[in-house]
Amino acid sequence: MRLLATLIAFVLAPIVVADTPSPMQADQKDPAKPPKIYVIPFGMDGKGQIGTDIHSSIYEKVAKDVKAKKPDLLILKLESYDRKRRDWLGDDTSREEIGRFDREDARNLRRLFTEELGDIPQVMWVKDSVGFGTVFALAWPHMYTAGDARLYGLARANEFTQHPDKEVQRKFEAAFISIVNGFLKEGGHSDVLGLSMIRPEKKLSVTFKGREIEWLPDTSGQIVVDGDEARVANFDARLAEDLGLSRGTADSIEDLMFQLGYREWDDSLTKEQDGTKLVGDYIKGWRAAWTDSLKAWGEYEQNSGGDSRAIARAIKALEQVKAAMNKYPAVEMRWKIRSGGGLDKIAVDGLIKQLRERSKGAGGSGGASGGKGS
């Protein structure tokens, strides 16, 4: 019930409506001035999970860098997909991470760009998105996509709202839908759209009323977006543009700037001086720390039942796990996912305390059990 209370509190928190300046060239105070651009990646090189690769801790550092360098335009480049175009994400991203996201951190991250950087024009540029990244991107009113981009819904959402008590499950689902719609409302989008991107059985169509688009929760519209009860609503780049979710397609920064109306711009910060290096180094760093923490956990399990010297090694291993969690919140999130929510910094502290108490009188072997970690 603790999770439910957290979800409800999250939903009831006030929604910050986006009101950042327009990124369009025609809307600038000095349209003739070439803007200095600053690129901020959300995900890179196939690593773009919300809550781990995309976490507010690194973007707080990026925000400080932005304020120091004072660019005129922020280009937010999103690559966040739960699935490759043919296979599940490979490498060190296991299925347990796919579809997961930290709701509170995602909201904090959005707030960072509206409150801390809200005076700088921003444009969201989606290279590819499957899952919660799509919801996150749609919170920006000025959104463009690459020509081959996907804007796919949250196909695994139902897995994370299951509960043996149907009433509790209903509340989980309602809270989850409210969270998603909170992001969509910031971008000016309909609740009907959000529901169809979460619930496979919900249908979606649109009707054109002059220049306005009305989203309908059935197949009665002029264009049927989703009539399949086995899948959530998904969009490709062309459909997203036709239905007003995207303002256009761009396959390069040059294409994007032309779409915004600019013929000249200052790209001096994009040469290893914008958010690309900061974010890239962070993703490599947290994933290396995660791998190291797995090895350290193995050391803990191997030594936790031994004599005093073995216990000392087990304590050292747990301290390494905790250090990784302290440095990278993404590591703690991955451990909580892997352990079913039970292994966080508090739990690791508890294990260390138990081992220290045992070591006081341990001259030989002991019989402590390890936590759930693999």
Answer yes or no: are the C-beta atoms of 115 and 56 closer than 8 Å: no
Task: List the one residue out of 279, 276, 253 whose CA is nearest residue 265.
Answer: 253
Report how many domains make up the chain. 2
Burial class (CB in 10 A: 0-12, 13-18, 19+), 2: exposed
Q: Assess whether 29 and 114 both reside in one domain.
A: yes
Domain membership of residue 374 (yes or no) is no
Domain membership of residue 346 (yes or no) is yes
Q: Assess whether 231 and 116 both reside in one domain.
A: yes
Q: Assess whether 199 and 63 both reside in one domain.
A: yes
Q: Assess whether 204 and 320 both reside in one domain.
A: no
Could you say which of 271, 295, 318 is where a domain stops?
271
Taking the CA atoms of the chain, what radius of gyration do you get in angstroms? 23
Q: Assess whether 171 and 33 both reside in one domain.
A: yes
Q: What is the pLDDT of residue 365?
A: 45
Mean pLDDT score of the chain: 87
The residue with greater pLDDT, 365 or 168, is 168
Answer yes or no: are the C-beta atoms of 248 and 144 closer than 8 Å: yes
Q: What is the pLDDT of residue 277?
A: 95
Answer yes or no: are the C-beta atoms of 143 and 202 closer than 8 Å: no
Amino acid in the structure at residue 66: V
Phi, psi of 235 (to 5 degrees): -135, 140
Q: Assess whether 226 and 301 both reside in one domain.
A: no
Domain membership of residue 369 (yes or no) is no
- In angstroms, the CA 135 to CA 198 distance is 10
Domain membership of residue 95 (yes or no) is yes
Domain residues for 131? 2-271
Average pLDDT over residues 125-147: 95
Q: Assess whether 297 and 222 both reside in one domain.
A: no
Average pLDDT over residues 1-22: 47
Predicted confidence (pLDDT) at residue 267 exceeds the cutoff of 80: yes
Q: Assess whether 187 and 334 both reside in one domain.
A: no
Model pTM score: 0.86
- In angstroms, the CA 365 to CA 306 distance is 5
The mean-pLDDT minimum among 2-11, 37-46, 82-91, 213-222 falls in 2-11
User: Which regions of 149-265 does DSSP assign to beta strands (E)?
Assistant: 150-152, 204-209, 212-216, 223-226, 234-236
Q: What is the pLDDT of residues 203-238, one digit of tens each?
A: 999 999 988 999 999 999 999 999 999 999 999 999
Give the whole-number percent of the chain exceeding pLDDT 90: 69
Could you say which of 220, 254, 271 is where a domain stops?
271
Q: Assess whether 165 and 232 both reside in one domain.
A: yes
Structure tokens at 38: 């600053």
Predicted confidence (pLDDT) at residue 95 exceeds the cutoff of 80: no
Q: Assess whether 248 and 286 both reside in one domain.
A: no
Domain membership of residue 326 (yes or no) is yes
Q: What is the pLDDT of residues 137-162, one digit of tens each?
A: 999 999 999 999 999 998 877 776 77
Q: Assess whether 232 and 296 both reside in one domain.
A: no
Q: Kindly indicate the confidence band of residue 171, based on its pLDDT and cuts at 50, 70 and 90.
A: confident
Task: Among 78-87, 298-307, 317-326, name the most confident range.
Answer: 317-326
Q: Assess whether 234 and 293 both reside in one domain.
A: no
Burial class (CB in 10 A: 0-12, 13-18, 19+), 367: exposed
Q: What is the pLDDT of residues 20-43, one digit of tens each?
A: 799 999 999 899 999 999 999 999
Residue 222 in 3-state DSSP? coil
Write the CATH number for 188.
Answer: 3.90.226.10
